Structure 1
Amino acid sequence: MICLYSLSLLQLLSLILLFSLPSASASASAADTSELFQRWCKEHGKTYSSEEEKRYRLKVFEDNLSFVAQHNQKANSTFTLSLNALADLTHHEFKASRLGLPPSLLGFKRPQSQQSHNLRDVPPEIDWRQSGAVTPVKDQGSCGACWAFSATGAIEGINKIVTGSLVSLSEQELIDCDTSYNSGCDGGLMSYAYQFVIGNHGIDTEEDYPYQARQRPCNKDKLRRRVVTIEDYVDVSPNEEELLKAVASQPVSVGICGSERAFQLYSKGIFTGPCSTSLDHAVLIVGYGSENGIDYWIVKNSWGRFWGMNGYIHMQRNSGNSRGICGINTLASYPTKTRPNPPVPPPPGPVKCNLFTYCPEGETCCCAKHFLGICFSWKCCGLNSAVCCKDKRHCCPQDYPICDTRKGQCLKAIANGTTAITSENKGFSMRPRGWKSH
């Protein structure tokens, strides 16, 4: 599937020819690229703060289009690139905003374990998605919390395998509360995340403690909602055989080098590099297989479903490098679980605004009138954990926290501008919600 969504294959090939033929008209190329960029912005809901910013993003997009076209003309490549949701980022911006394994943490090592079963017992292919052990692809946005998404993905997988229940878990809890060693949006390590969950005796759900793409103060009430537990974790010995045996048993967290430009713009096929083995990104291996004589890992990323193959990438296995493709063999770990989860905590009651005022469960208290820092009148926003707008009349959802009441929009900050909420993918109106009294 070509990931240029609104463009036909014929249009894409025409653009590639424009970029590859020396005799191509520069003006025609510019016009076609501008049209393509407009369609791409509409498809991905991209808006920019000024015309100057938009012109700059068009130049970045054009440069990425040229890179995509040059790569896709290689006859012997096992993978293709596309103008995915990251195509308006420079390579430097991409590396600064989408990764999250800081080198300072990579010296941490625990005694490594080897799987007890024999390689002969390992099936020739496995895909944990088919067993229902993998939640839908998530999007970390411009917060460098890949480590949290990798860790929750591994916990979600073993929880499904042991209990039969697939529960999406809270990356935000790890970002906000796991601060002894990990650093929220500035990076972290999956093993530290497992230690945190073990020490806290569990982790909350994504639904109850939703993702906000930024670090906030730890919500102690949510911290005490221990829905899923693990007992321990294992650091896998850094070789391909041990990693294969681990993935045959459950989804496994791994570190990789994800900063290559081809990785940024990956579309489909088996990624064979070239890439460094210096780790800077965390992902989740959810299976493995073979195609046309090439073995591969099935890897779940956290850059949204408009990257790669609906959020996944196939990365070469048995590459001949002892560290694995992009270093994938060198920092693998997984949680262990044998016991059932504790009883599900009771649902929260009404939200307390002050001593005399409450909002219904799942809503947010917003101050309508205050004086000298004291609120004298409260109203209720019909969204959970919402942001109260400064006009004291509207509110926005927590994942689109910027109020633009003049335009009637709720916005989300991204690395290269803002994007507005849409009713299609969020389930409510573009306009900020009005408050109501209770």
Structure 2
Amino acid sequence: MRSKLLSLILVMSLVLVGSASQVFEKWCKEHGKTYSSEEEKRYRLKVFEENYGFVAQHNNNNSTYTLSLNAFADLTHHEFKTSRLGLSLPPSPFRRFKRTPPNQHPRLPSQIDWRQSGAVTPVKDQGSCGACWAFSATGAIEGINKIVTGSLESLSEQELIDCDRSYNSGCEGGLMDYAYQFIIDNGGIDTEDDYPYQVRQRTCNKDKLRRRVVTIDDYVDVPMNEEELLKAVATQPVSVGICGSERAFQLYSKGIFTGPCSTALDHAVLIVGYGSENGVDYWIVKNSWGKYWGMNGYIHMIRNSGGSEGICGINTLASYPIKTKPNPPVPPPPGPVRCNLFTHCSAGETCCCAKSFLGICFSWKCCGLTSAVCCKDKRHCCPQDYPICDTGKGQCLKIIANGTMTITSENKDFSHQPRGWTSH
């Protein structure tokens, strides 16, 4: 009966706006979608039609929120869940590191939005990498850094994905507490501009790891109590875990999200404020799925919903960083890389020998990659995370866990790897 109702709503909706293929073509153009084959495109059209029916059925009900055919409308619900989530909880029982929040001011404002204070960076997009935990953690640190120092710095999720390997697992998932502890142990974190996001895990860049632009002193785990969470958000943006795998969450457009949803946590987001609308209280939540999801990347989630765990478990895994000290002086940019007494390459390059005799290099070239591997043919180089030169095929390879080799997915031939040789 349910499937028949969905089909009926879909048919009625398409009568108003045109055929399914016409709507799909318009949607593809709007979102810049292309497919590798006609077969793949037909399959995506079928998925799109099913999501269209789901959206139409929901929006036909009297709900506090609406759905739309957003950028994820050509994904099955399973595809969406496997590509966009990434909060990983350790096996039970999980002991949280910090349990007692400091005393906060008892008089709370009726509403607050940290975006209006300039304490929130623009919405980011984690892509198909399940590193929501890193985006949630950096978002909280960006917020408290702005509040304490007056400077809003966009911080490097890629550094956490590449380098925080004690407990977190990069694109395979992680936890904000561990990210905070990593940054404390490292003495700070680099900026997004200096260590940009790559949508995949790479080898940790030790040079960038030493650029500690923003620091934190400690972090706090908020007890599972909505009043305590409210006090925390009144002080600064707060990282939280939620269940983000509901189909309605995938296609959310606007309004106050009221579920239904599980409290089994699988996604990490950032609460940046709270408010009320028509007598309904809500959290202002920043997501990491890009600005084309929800309300320019944000969602309002119901607050004071009655359950101790909160909507989608939002009360159960809240934490935030503590910062009281100023940041260290910004280190100067790296200088030239010296090849020998008379030859150097620019910062961010690697010296590679072009001509040698009896082990002595007489001519140098510069590979436009940091800490690159110079190939034995003395003509090419490979990035440090794909360090094996296959000069016969003109490819850079790496050893993976099972002992076999794989071609880099980013650059498949030497002609693109060196990014500009310079002779010295």
> Does the TM-score normalized on the shorter chain lie above 0.5?
yes
1:56 aligns with 2:43: yes
Pairwise CA distance, 1:116:
1.4
Paired residue for 1:176, among 162, 176, 200? Answer: 162
Could you tell me which runs of 5 or more consecutive residues in structure 1 were left unpaired when the two chains were aligned.
1-15, 380-387, 393-399, 411-431
Paired residue for 1:330, among 274, 297, 316? Answer: 316
Indicate the SS of the match to 1:254.
strand
* Structure 2 Cα separation of the partners of residues 375 and 151 of structure 1: 44
Map of 1:117 onto structure 2 = 104
- Greater alpha carbon shift after TM alignment, 349-358 vs 274-283: 349-358
Map of 1:42 onto structure 2 = 29
Identity %: 73
Contact kept, 8 Å, 1:173 with 1:204, in 2: the verdict is yes
**1:253-268 to 2 correspondences below 5 Å:** 253-268=239-254
Map of 1:164 onto structure 2 = 150
Indicate the SS of the match to 2:69.
coil
Contact kept, 8 Å, 2:13 with 2:56, in 1: the verdict is no
Paired residue for 1:273, among 255, 259, 274? Answer: 259
Contact kept, 8 Å, 1:48 with 1:54, in 2: the verdict is yes
Tell me: CA distance 1:24–1:292, structure 2 relative to 1, closer, same or farther (3 Å): closer
* Structure 2 Cα separation of the partners of residues 339 and 129 of structure 1: 23
Tell me: CA distance 1:360–1:118, structure 2 relative to 1, closer, same or farther (3 Å): closer
Amino acid at match of 2:84: R
Contact kept, 8 Å, 2:256 with 2:300, in 1: the verdict is yes
Paired residue for 2:123, among 127, 132, 137? Answer: 137
Map of 1:20 onto structure 2 = 9
* Structure 2 Cα separation of the partners of residues 378 and 276 of structure 1: 52
Map of 1:100 onto structure 2 = 86
Contact kept, 8 Å, 2:84 with 2:130, in 1: the verdict is yes
Contact kept, 8 Å, 1:19 with 1:69, in 2: the verdict is no
Pairwise CA distance, 1:354:
9.8
* Structure 2 Cα separation of the partners of residues 278 and 24 of structure 1: 34
**1:352-391 to 2 correspondences below 5 Å:** 360-361=346-347, 365=367, 373-377=375-379
Map of 2:208 onto structure 1 = 222
Paired residue for 1:153, among 113, 130, 139? Answer: 139
Q: 1:251-277 deviations in whole A, cap 9, x for unaligned?
A: 000000000000000000000001011
Tell me: CA distance 1:97–1:36, structure 2 relative to 1, closer, same or farther (3 Å): same
Contact kept, 8 Å, 1:357 with 1:378, in 2: the verdict is no
Indicate the SS of the match to 1:376.
coil
Q: 1:346-371 deviations in whole A, cap 9, x for unaligned?
A: 1123467999876655679359xxxx
Aligned length: 380
Q: 1:234-260 deviations in whole A, cap 9, x for unaligned?
A: 000111000000000000000000000
* Structure 2 Cα separation of the partners of residues 138 and 129 of structure 1: 14
Contact kept, 8 Å, 1:101 with 1:280, in 2: the verdict is yes
Amino acid at match of 2:135: F
Contact kept, 8 Å, 1:18 with 1:29, in 2: the verdict is no
Contact kept, 8 Å, 2:104 with 2:232, in 1: the verdict is no
1:349 aligns with 2:349: no
Tell me: CA distance 1:23–1:124, structure 2 relative to 1, closer, same or farther (3 Å): closer
Paired residue for 2:175, among 189, 194, 197? Answer: 189
Contact kept, 8 Å, 2:17 with 2:23, in 1: the verdict is no
Contact kept, 8 Å, 2:157 with 2:197, in 1: the verdict is yes
* Structure 2 Cα separation of the partners of residues 144 and 23 of structure 1: 37
Q: 1:160-191 deviations in whole A, cap 9, x for unaligned?
A: 00000000000000001000000101100000
Pairwise CA distance, 1:338:
0.4
Tell me: CA distance 1:138–1:433, structure 2 relative to 1, closer, same or farther (3 Å): farther
* Structure 2 Cα separation of the partners of residues 242 and 113 of structure 1: 10
* Structure 2 Cα separation of the partners of residues 108 and 152 of structure 1: 22
* Structure 2 Cα separation of the partners of residues 175 and 225 of structure 1: 16
Tell me: CA distance 1:65–1:356, structure 2 relative to 1, closer, same or farther (3 Å): farther
Amino acid at match of 1:305: K
Q: 1:187-245 deviations in whole A, cap 9, x for unaligned?
A: 00000000000000000001111111111111111100000000100000111000000
Pairwise CA distance, 1:38:
1.9
Q: 1:382-403 deviations in whole A, cap 9, x for unaligned?
A: xxxxxx9x998xxxxxxx9746
**1:2-21 to 2 correspondences below 5 Å:** 20=9
* Structure 1 Cα separation of the partners of residues 138 and 11 of structure 2: 49
Map of 2:303 onto structure 1 = 317
Tell me: CA distance 1:184–1:284, structure 2 relative to 1, closer, same or farther (3 Å): same
Indicate the SS of the match to 1:295.
strand
Indicate the SS of the match to 2:378.
strand
TM-score, normalization by structure 2: 0.81
Indicate the SS of the match to 2:90.
helix
CA RMSD, 1 decimal: 3.5
Map of 1:300 onto structure 2 = 286
Tell me: CA distance 1:283–1:357, structure 2 relative to 1, closer, same or farther (3 Å): farther
Tell me: CA distance 1:23–1:275, structure 2 relative to 1, closer, same or farther (3 Å): closer
Contact kept, 8 Å, 1:91 with 1:261, in 2: the verdict is yes
**1:232-271 to 2 correspondences below 5 Å:** 232-271=218-257
Could you tell me which runs of 5 or more consecutive residues in structure 2 were left unpaired when the two chains were aligned.
351-366, 382-388, 395-407
* Structure 2 Cα separation of the partners of residues 377 and 84 of structure 1: 47
Pairwise CA distance, 1:32:
2.1
Pairwise CA distance, 1:312:
0.3
